[in-house]
Structures are given as structure tokens and as C-alpha cells.
Amino acid sequence: MHKFADMASRPRSGIIGTGFMGAVHARAVRGAGGTVAAVAGSSFAKAQAAAGTFAAERAAESAMDVVLAPDIDIVHICTPNHLHAEVAAVAIAAGKHVICEKPLTTTTADSLQLAQAAAAAGVLTAVPFAYRYYGPVREARAQVAAGRLGRLRLVHGQYLQDWLASPEDTNWRVDPVQGGASRAFADIGVHWCDLVEYVTGERIAALTARLGLAEPMRRTPSGAVADRGNEDIAVLLLTMQSGAVGTLTVSQVSLGRANRLSFSLDGSDRALAFDQESAELLWIGRRDGIEILPRGSASTLVAAQRYDAVPAGHPQGYQDCFTALMRDVYARLDGDDIDGLPDFQDGLRAAHLTDAVLESHQSGSWVEVGI
Ligand SMILES: NC(=O)c1ccc[n+]([C@@H]2O[C@H](COP(=O)([O-])OP(=O)(O)OC[C@H]3O[C@@H](n4cnc5c(N)ncnc54)[C@H](O)[C@@H]3O)[C@@H](O)[C@H]2O)c1
């Protein structure tokens, strides 16, 4: 049994970042039975305000104040992408477990260094590819593993958002220094790739990608108009290890698509499809018709049931995925053999995929994806 800083052996979390993800992590920690011991933001005033809404025990002066605090067991990094690497490295060196948001870092070299350092230190790591925690996604993985799909022939899907559709829409992500050289793919496309590789149990072997700038003159958060930025759109052709072929469309400028992450795996015996905006359902296509399998149905395979927090017919959602991920973090720390907790190796994998996408766009060629 892992011994935590708290006398009652409950893991104590320190959250760095007070925005969207900081709040999601705080709710997940509390929902899974942990304690939000401290929160740090870009200023102490922001940390103080967040300490209230996150139900944190204290506001911290800075990220390093959280990372080095002796009473923190798990460091959550929920800041803009370019700030992940240094904080994660110091946290690992301090012997902390680290949950770092995706993309793990803005360079593959940094992601590799972190994955190696964490393995050498023996600390637990996680990168919240949290869509793995929908019950129907686990059901799809179980059905593929049980051979129900037959031979995988075709993978296709999309990850579409619209929150950056206007030239006036901006965020730190549009600045390549803060967000990274790739935006739409590294920000959301990697979620789709992680999901498809996790569900199929095989990797994307090679891809060719083209990137699009819908708004070449996009405004940066500081108000300046930048004449170049990272991509709004990515389109990919891909081949899986088995030889199955596929397509992926990624966009953050597709009007009306708030968060449409969907995939279809078309096999020789059946097809399986999942759409994050209808996340309670797994669509099954067969020669004799279709079946819609709701989460919690009696006919689901055992593997999916761990992720049923409430009975069938009571919808679960995005936040529940993060809470389930935190439960698995605690279970892993308790020594349980947990399947599917995405870690720094998965973050490194996403960095390799991002490199391949950028390289392919530059060269106009197919690129084999590094392992
Ligand atoms: N896993 C997912 O599904 C998912 C979803 C959204 C975002 N993310 C990732 O989470 C991270 C944060 O994204 P977000 O949407 O919450 O962004 P956000 O802009 O809402 O929040 C970022 C926060 O970081 C804080 N911050 C900035 N500099 C800081 C510093 N030096 N020290 C401490 N805090 C600082 C800001 O004040 C802000 O509160 C990104 O890496 C993003 O890619 C992951």
C-alpha cells in the first residue's frame, strides 16, 4: 500500500493552473476521494480565487511552491503547454507522481526526457486522454479484443470544434510559442489517435497529412495580429499496423461542432462507432442491421462495467471520465493492475504522431510514425 503525506493515507493533490482543466482536475480529485491540498495560478490572487471554487486547502504562491511542498503526493499540471516540461521535470526529481495535461510538452525531446526520468524515478504518471474512460469506449475495446470486429479494414473519423472559427477568436493555443508548432492536431487530433490506437490495440504505422490555416491573420491574446500561426485544420490519410487504412479530419473552425470526436472501426464481421457528443451509446453495424448498445446494457462485455458510475439510463459525461481516471490513479498507487491508464509513454506517442504530421505537411510525403 502506498503511503501518502496525509496521516489517513489519502493522496494529496496540488493543482497548477486555475482554468478549464484545473477545475476539471479539482472536481475529479474530490470525486475520487482525494484531497486538493493546494492550487497555484499565474498570480497569487488567481490562486486564492481558485482555492475557493476548487475547495483547496490553500492557495500557493507559485507552481514550484506546489511541486516542492512536502505534503503534496500528486502534482497536476494544467497550464498552457509550454509550461509543462520544466514543472514536470522538477516534480519527478522531487519524487512526486505527476498528472500532466496533453500535449505532454511542446517538443518530442522534452517528452522523451520526461518519460525516461519518470521511469527511472519510479513515479506514477498520467496524461489525461480521458475519452478512454467512457464506458462505450471500453466496450468497443473489449469487443475488438474478443474478435467480434473480424478483420479491421477501415478506420475513419473526425475531431471537430468551432470555438476558434472567427478571426477574433483567440487563445494562448494560437501562439506557437505557448501552444506548440502544431495546434489543432496536437491539441485535439492526438485524442482521436490515442482513442483509436487504444480501442483497436494497434498503432498508426504511417500517415500523410495536410494542414490548413483558416485564419492566417489570427489575433493573439495580447491583441497583436500575427501573420502566421499554428494550424486550424488537419486532414490525414493513415495506415494501421495491420494494413487497415483510414482517414481523420481535425478542425477547430467547423461551425456548430462543439466537440465532435467520433470514430468508426469497420471490420469484416461488424463495424463499431462512437461519438463523444452521444457518449452513452456504442453503434454496432452488422450485415443484418444495426444495433445501438447503451452504456450499462446487460449484453455489454465485463470490461466496460468498471466505468459505470451510475446505472444505465442515468447519463454520465466528460467530468465522469476524469473522475474515473483519478480513481484508476489511486487504484494503481494501491498496487492494482489497472488497464488503460494513459501515461507519459502515451504522451510521448502523441508527440511522435505530431512530429509525423508536421513532417508530412512539410514534405508532402507519407511518413512512418516513430514509436
Ligand atoms: N485532457 C483534455 O481533455 C484537455 C482539455 C482541455 C485542455 N487540456 C490541456 O490542459 C492544459 C490547460 O488548458 P486549459 O484549457 O485549462 O487552459 P486555460 O487557459 O483555461 O487555463 C490555463 C491556466 O494556466 C494558468 N497559468 C498560466 N501560467 C501559469 C503559471 N506560470 N503558473 C501557474 N498557472 C499558470 C492560467 O492562469 C490559467 O488559469 C493545456 O495543456 C491543454 O492542452 C486538456
Other C-beta atoms closer than 10 Å to the C-beta of 9 total 12
Per-residue pLDDT of the chain (371 residues; tens, 9 = 90+): 455 665 456 789 999 999 999 999 999 999 999 999 999 999 999 999 999 999 999 999 999 999 999 999 999 999 999 999 999 999 999 999 999 999 999 999 999 999 999 999 999 999 999 999 999 999 999 999 999 999 999 999 999 999 999 988 999 999 999 999 999 999 999 999 999 999 999 999 999 999 999 987 878 777 777 766 799 999 999 999 999 999 999 999 999 999 999 999 999 999 999 999 999 999 999 999 999 999 988 888 876 678 888 888 899 999 999 999 999 999 999 999 999 999 999 999 999 999 999 999 999 999 999 76
Domains delineated in the chain: 12-126 (3.40.50.720), 134-314+345-368 (3.30.360.10)
User: Distance between CA 195 and CA 330 in Å, rounded?
Assistant: 22
- Whether omega for the bond prior to residue 103 falls within 30 degrees of 0, making it cis, is yes
Secondary structure of the chain as H, E, C letters: CCCCCCCCCCCEEEEECCCHHHHHHHHHHHHCCCEEEEEECCCHHHHHHHHHHCCCCEECCCHHHHHCCCCCCEEEECCCHHHHHHHHHHHHHCCCEEEECCCCCCCHHHHHHHHHHHHHHCCCEECCCHHHHCHHHHHHHHHHHCCCCCCEEEEEEEEECCCCCCCCCCCHHHCHHHHCCCCHHHHHHHHHHHHHHHHHCCCEEEEEEEEECCCCCCECCCCCECCCCCCCEEEEEEEECCCCEEEEEEECCCCCCCCEEEEEEEECCCEEEEEHHHCCEEEEEECCEEEEEECCCCCCCHHHHHHCCCCCCCCCCHHHHHHHHHHHHHHHHCCCCCCCCCCHHHHHHHHHHHHHHHHHHHHCCCEECCC
Give residue 7's pLDDT. Answer: 46
Does the beta carbon of 241 sit less than 6 angstroms from any atom of ligand 1? no
* Residue 22 CA, ligand 1 centroid: distance in Å: 7
Q: What is the value of pTM for the model shown? A: 0.96
Does the beta carbon of 20 sit less than 6 angstroms from any atom of ligand 1? yes
Give residue 1's pLDDT. Answer: 43
Does the beta carbon of 19 sit less than 6 angstroms from any atom of ligand 1? yes
* Closest ligand 1 atom, residue 21 Cα: 16
Is the alpha carbon torsion for 79, 82, 86, 92 positive or negative? positive
Q: Closest residue (by CA) to atom 34 of ligand 1?
A: 41
Does the beta carbon of 78 sit less than 6 angstroms from any atom of ligand 1? yes
Q: Which of 24, 101, 137 to mutate to test the pocket of ligand 1 (most atoms within 8 A of CB)?
A: 101
Is the alpha carbon torsion for 54, 55, 56, 62 positive or negative? positive
Other C-beta atoms closer than 10 Å to the C-beta of 95 total 10
Beta carbons of 131 and 191 less than 8 angstroms apart: yes
Does the beta carbon of 60 sit less than 6 angstroms from any atom of ligand 1? no
Does the beta carbon of 16 sit less than 6 angstroms from any atom of ligand 1? yes
Does the beta carbon of 179 sit less than 6 angstroms from any atom of ligand 1? no
Q: Which of 79, 83, 187, 191 to mutate to test the pocket of ligand 1 (most atoms within 8 A of CB)?
A: 79
User: Distance between CA 99 and CA 289 in Å, rounded?
Assistant: 42
* Residue 18 CA, ligand 1 centroid: distance in Å: 7
Beta carbons of 272 and 140 less than 8 angstroms apart: yes
Give residue 304's pLDDT. Answer: 67
* Residue 23 CA, ligand 1 centroid: distance in Å: 10
Q: Closest residue (by CA) to atom 2 of ligand 1?
A: 128
Beta carbons of 136 and 142 less than 8 angstroms apart: no
Give residue 183's pLDDT. Answer: 96
Q: Closest residue (by CA) to atom 20 of ligand 1?
A: 19
Q: Which three cell numbers stand for residue 66?
A: 506546489
Angle of the 108-121 helix axis to the 84-93 helix axis, nearest 10: 20
Q: Which of 18, 20, 39, 61 to mutate to test the pocket of ligand 1 (most atoms within 8 A of CB)?
A: 20
Does the beta carbon of 350 sit less than 6 angstroms from any atom of ligand 1? no
Does the beta carbon of 128 sit less than 6 angstroms from any atom of ligand 1? yes
Q: What are phi and psi of 220, to 5 degrees?
A: -90, 165
* Residue 79 CA, ligand 1 centroid: distance in Å: 3
